[in-house]
């Protein structure tokens, strides 16, 4: 089966893609393009899936760069695709032939580019990374490579939407303690439960950081099991594990 990618004109002319789960070699609960070594899927199958992504991106397997994501606000600069990269949740580069790749399963995959200065970035932005500043850290790291803030574009890929993201009062308090205006990213739910709008929050943080050209593709990972893996959907279904989607961009 052919791989399926979601793309955005905002990231042109760079080759990029928010890959869905279609076209992979995994089976069972991982059926499709599971690219997460952190899952309990067979490593050799995950390697096949990643190789298919590398081929689609036009790079050798070893130039499909991932990091050990830990829900931090840390961004690293990739100088050599074959270096060992530390724990972090975002990457930037200005090196041709390096594909920056982020893994998600409800969190926001965010791809960045500055076509005028030839700098790209990729970030894994769950609620914790987003509120702690991983998007801003990515922008700062791009500027460190010569990007200009007003030239940077950003696209949020498939992520969990507000209607599927129910949270409790402690979660709400964490955001309101940061900024009372953040109440606008919550809608009422049953009892003391609320629904959090992660992509709108991501767009807000990007625009507050000076990125006027920012968008969300509009795809909800939870609501479309045929195309996307979802940690929360897996939890609700009491499944043993879940796959990881991959999103990538290269110069």
Within a domain: residue 191? no
Q: What is the pLDDT of residues 180-212, one digit of tens each?
A: 999 999 998 888 999 999 999 999 999 999 999
Q: What is the CATH number of the domain that holds 38?
A: 3.60.140.10
> Does residue 181 sit within a domain?
no
HSE of 44, CA atoms in CB hemisphere, 13 A: 0
Question: pLDDT for 35-54, tens place per residue?
Answer: 999 999 999 999 999 999 99
Is the residue at 12 inside a domain?
yes
User: Would 239 be classed as within a structural domain?
Assistant: yes
Residues spanned by the domain of 96: 5-161+197-250
Residue 180 within any structural domain of the chain:
no
> Which pTM value belongs to this model?
0.97
Domain count, the chain: 1
3-state secondary structure of 144: helix
Coil/strand/helix, residue 237: coil
pLDDT score at 116: 97
Report yes or no on 188 lying in a domain: no
**Where do the H-state alpha helices sit in 29-75?**
43-57
43 in any annotated domain = yes
Q: Is 95 part of any domain?
A: yes
Cα-only R_g, the chain:
17
């Amino acid at each position: 089966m052919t791989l399926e990618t979601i793309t955005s004109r905002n990231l042109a002319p760079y080759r990029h893609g928010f890959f869905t789960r279609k076209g992979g070699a995994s089976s069972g609960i991982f059926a499709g393009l599971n690219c997460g070594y952190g899952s309990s899927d067979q490593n050799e199958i995950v390697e096949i899936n990643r190789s298919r992504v590398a081929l689609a991106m036009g790079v050798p397997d070893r130039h499909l760069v991932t990091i050990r994501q830990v829900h931090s606000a840390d961004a690293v600069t990739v100088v050599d695709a074959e270096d060992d990269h530390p724990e972090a949740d975002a990457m930037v580069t200005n090196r041709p032939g390096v594909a920056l790749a982020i893994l998600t399963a409800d969190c926001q995959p965010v791809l960045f580019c500055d076509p005028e200065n030839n700098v790209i970035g990729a970030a894994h932005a769950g609620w914790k990374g987003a509120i702690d500043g991983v998007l801003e850290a990515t922008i700062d790291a791009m500027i460190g490579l010569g990007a200009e803030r007003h030239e940077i574009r950003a696209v949020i890929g498939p992520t969990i939407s507000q209607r599927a993201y129910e949270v409790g009062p402690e979660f709400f308090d964490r955001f309101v303690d940061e900024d009372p205006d953040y109440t606008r990213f919550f809608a009422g739910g049953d009892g003391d439960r609320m629904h959090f709008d992660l992509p709108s929050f991501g767009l807000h943080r990007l625009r507050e950081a000076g990125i006027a050209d920012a968008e969300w593709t509009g795809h909800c990972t939870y609501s479309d099991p045929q195309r996307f893996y979802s940690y929360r959907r897996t939890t609700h279904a009491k499944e043993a594990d879940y796959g990881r989607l991959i999103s990538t961009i290269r110069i």
